[in-house]
Amino acid sequence: MKSINKIEYAIGIDLGGTNIKAAVCTSDGKVLGSPLSFSTEGEKGPEYVIKRINQAISHILLLELYRTKVHAIGIGAPGSVDYKRGHVLHPPNLPGWKNVALARIISQRWNLPVKIENDANAAALGEAHFGAGKNLDSFIGITIGTGIGSGIIMERKVVHGERGYAGELGHTKINYNGPKCNCGSYGCVEAYIGNNYLVQRTAVELKHHPSSRLFSRVIKKKITLTPKEIADAARHGDAFAFKILFDAGEKLGIALANAANFLDITTFVIGGGIAAAGKPLMDGIVTGTKKNVLATFRRRINILPSQLGNNAGMLGAAALWF
Amino acid sequence: MKSINKIEYAIGIDLGGTNIKAAVCTSDGKVLGSPLSFSTEGEKGPEYVIKRINQAISHILLLELYRTKVHAIGIGAPGSVDYKRGHVLHPPNLPGWKNVALARIISQRWNLPVKIENDANAAALGEAHFGAGKNLDSFIGITIGTGIGSGIIMERKVVHGERGYAGELGHTKINYNGPKCNCGSYGCVEAYIGNNYLVQRTAVELKHHPSSRLFSRVIKKKITLTPKEIADAARHGDAFAFKILFDAGEKLGIALANAANFLDITTFVIGGGIAAAGKPLMDGIVTGTKKNVLATFRRRINILPSQLGNNAGMLGAAALWF
């Protein structure tokens, strides 16, 4: 393995339940070329997924230019990650994975050093280095998707906690009498705003709103109800869809208020697919956070959209080397 | 002001809404002599309270031995404390205080350097140096009293956040539909377990439990209902009182679970007056935390009673110098 003083190019890999994204990233935050995107096909198990990751790396290193310049690989992986040993423990979205020594496996295959970080931490790190958090000492990066992940940046470093599993903000109980969450507990904020829950709840309420655009798309035209459909309807002025997203944002705001009260960190960077829902969701988040946070913190509350969007995780994974 | 390499003796002061406690503390965690305790009489305003603090210091420094050995003063103060500038901002339990430069005032009076820290942080620091947290890198110290305070110790340092106000765990909303809290919001854990709320709730439920010891003491014998009365009744086998404390502990456990999920810190040191309620409260806390925390953290959850009891804040304030 080569010994390097300062790494300027690293492959950043965002290993998701649905897609694997990879690209060469530079230490000044550029993504070279278009990121590759492979479907993960996680149901085929860890060996297959590792093969997919290697395919992505192989594609990148086909280019002579990259082969000579790239000296390291960073991976953002879902669920609990043992970042010190480079193990992926048992991500809920990747069946069959149990304590996989991913860093070592990939490192041996390519003779390059590999670091691994939890995907939400990687996304926050990306924003910290190159995005909305560039000028901030401390902030909390939120990723809204199937689950709600968060990465805590404190004094420009990721907070790992005892084992590296810090950031499970999605399982903040905002109502102990609330709906059941797939973690087995009740009233986690994820059970209000996570993609599947949001879609389920919308489906239930939809029948009471026959004049909404969403009703006509989903019930009449049989278009699948997705967070994107809800967001699109809201953008087209559908008051029902707007309210669904605003309410979801408000619920998330309660968890953010809890976090701000607890850590005196008042800036949040919101990313992930549904974050693209834009105004109604963001308005809800701001309202919910300010309403629920202590007066001491209220004026400082600052809710920012992600600047790196879908590239945050990839750039942050590469930034493990910068 | 003398310049000192290593301070071995410091006056530790715990400025509370009810009492001011002070003693000479040593760098190996001893309290010399019996701590002084003066009533704060906070309603008389900041000038009076500062006079009381100076009286306490004066009493201590009357002793020739202390006068020569003591080279610094540490103060734990309630509410928001600007620890960098040594200001006490506007503690809810000390009327009339607004951005008081307490460190400078006391320092000038005694020609000794003075540091100030939030009282819950000071208590956690005390436990970290000399108590239940002595061998822990990270833990969260909880102080149960009128309010619920917390001090976060991460890698052996207090987490301050952006302005030094971190640790407001008492205002974790565990049920956004819950009872009103005196912060103006709803469903804060403090509104379930803070002393006054606990007493109020018990008073309401008491009439349905005419055979309980508590009923006979409070309703028949007209003894004032206090957290201590509830704890005493529980200790005497009063099932109603036991359940009140267990339930309160369980509610606190929800907030602790949120904290553990968020920070991957799994040890909590429980102190403050009502913590002396012992088993029913502690059992409730353990049950509530384990029930609500993610499975990943469950086995590591460790709820410890304070080892320093009422001296934690004083020792921690002195430890600002050690």
Structure-block tokens of residue B230 = 């509830």
Mean residue pLDDT across chain B: 94
Q: Which residues of A touch B137 (CB under 8 A)?
A: 162
Q: Which of A168, A174, A258 sits opposite B294 (nearest CB)?
A: A168
Summarised one tens digit per residue, pLDDT across range B161-203 is 999 999 999 999 999 999 999 889 999 999 999 988 999 999 9
pLDDT of the residue at B72: 97
The residue with greater pLDDT, B152 or A90, is: B152
Strand A267-271, strand A81-82: pairing: unpaired
Size of interface A-B (CB pairs under 8 A): 127
The CA distance from A138 to the nearest CA of chain B, in Å, is: 7
Residue of B nearest to A182 (CA): B294
The CA distance from A296 to the nearest CA of chain B, in Å, is: 8
The CA distance from B66 to the nearest CA of chain A, in Å, is: 38
Q: Which residues of B touch A166 (CB under 8 A)?
A: 262-265
pLDDT of the residue at A67: 87
The CA distance from B216 to the nearest CA of chain A, in Å, is: 33
Summarised one tens digit per residue, pLDDT across range B273-311 is 776 678 899 999 999 999 999 999 999 999 999 999 999
Q: Which of B137, B175, B264 sits opposite A177 (nearest CB)?
A: B175
Is residue A17 a contact partner of residue A143, using CB atoms and an 8 Å limit?
Answer: no
pLDDT of the residue at A202: 95
Summarised one tens digit per residue, pLDDT across range B228-276 is 999 999 999 999 999 999 999 999 999 999 999 999 999 999 998 776 6
DSSP letters, A168-189, are -GGG-BSBTTS-B-TTSSB-BT
- ipTM score assigned to the predicted complex: 0.94
pLDDT at A287 over 80: yes
pLDDT of the residue at A277: 75
Helix intervals (H) in A184-226: 190-193, 195-206, 213-215
Q: Which of A167, A258, A264 sits opposite B165 (nearest CB)?
A: A264
Q: Please report, to the nearest 10 degrees, the dihedral formed by the alpha carbons of residues B194, B196, B201, B206 taken in order.
A: 130
> Cβ–Cβ of B262/A150 closer than 8 Å?
yes
Q: Which of B167, B262, B292 sits opposite A166 (nearest CB)?
A: B262
Summarised one tens digit per residue, pLDDT across range A97-140 is 999 999 999 999 999 999 999 999 999 999 999 999 999 999 99
pLDDT of the residue at B79: 87
With cut-offs at 50, 70 and 90, classify the pLDDT of residue A275: low
Tally Cβ neighbours within 10 Å of residue B211. Answer: 9
Is residue B164 a contact partner of residue B88, using CB atoms and an 8 Å limit?
Answer: no
Structure-block tokens of residue B238 = 């009063």
pLDDT of the residue at A146: 81
pLDDT at B4 over 70: no
Q: Which of B137, B173, B254 sits opposite A254 (nearest CB)?
A: B173
Mean pLDDT throughout A254-260?
98
pLDDT of the residue at A131: 98
Residue of A nearest to B177 (CA): A175
Mean pLDDT throughout B4-29?
92
Q: Which of A173, A252, A299 to mutate to test the interface with B (most CBs of B within 10 A)?
A: A173
> Cβ–Cβ of B259/A262 closer than 8 Å?
yes
> Cβ–Cβ of A261/B172 closer than 8 Å?
yes
> Cβ–Cβ of A169/B265 closer than 8 Å?
no
The CA distance from B163 to the nearest CA of chain A, in Å, is: 7
pLDDT at A149 over 80: yes
Helix intervals (H) in chain B: 46-61, 64-69, 102-110, 119-130, 190-193, 195-206, 213-215, 227-235, 239-263, 279-292, 295-298, 312-319
Question: B117 CB contacts (<8 Å, ≥6 apart)?
Answer: B74, B75, B76, B77, B81, B83, B125, B158, B316, B317, B320
The CA distance from A175 to the nearest CA of chain B, in Å, is: 4
> Cβ–Cβ of B297/A165 closer than 8 Å?
yes
The residue with greater pLDDT, A276 or B49, is: B49
> Cβ–Cβ of A262/B150 closer than 8 Å?
yes
With cut-offs at 50, 70 and 90, classify the pLDDT of residue B6: confident
Summarised one tens digit per residue, pLDDT across range A226-237 is 999 999 999 999
With cut-offs at 50, 70 and 90, classify the pLDDT of residue B320: very high
Q: Which residues of B touch A289 (CB under 8 A)?
A: none
The three-class DSSP label of residue B55 is helix
Summarised one tens digit per residue, pLDDT across range A192-219 is 999 889 999 999 999 999 999 999 999 9
One-letter amino acid for residue A37 of the chain: S
Q: Which residues of B touch A118 (CB under 8 A)?
A: none
> Cβ–Cβ of A258/B173 closer than 8 Å?
yes
Q: Which residues of A touch B251 (CB under 8 A)?
A: 176
Is residue B253 a contact partner of residue B124, using CB atoms and an 8 Å limit?
Answer: no
The residue with greater pLDDT, B277 or A18, is: A18
Closest CA to A320 of A124, A141, A28, A115: A115
pLDDT at B83 over 70: yes
The three-class DSSP label of residue A208 is coil
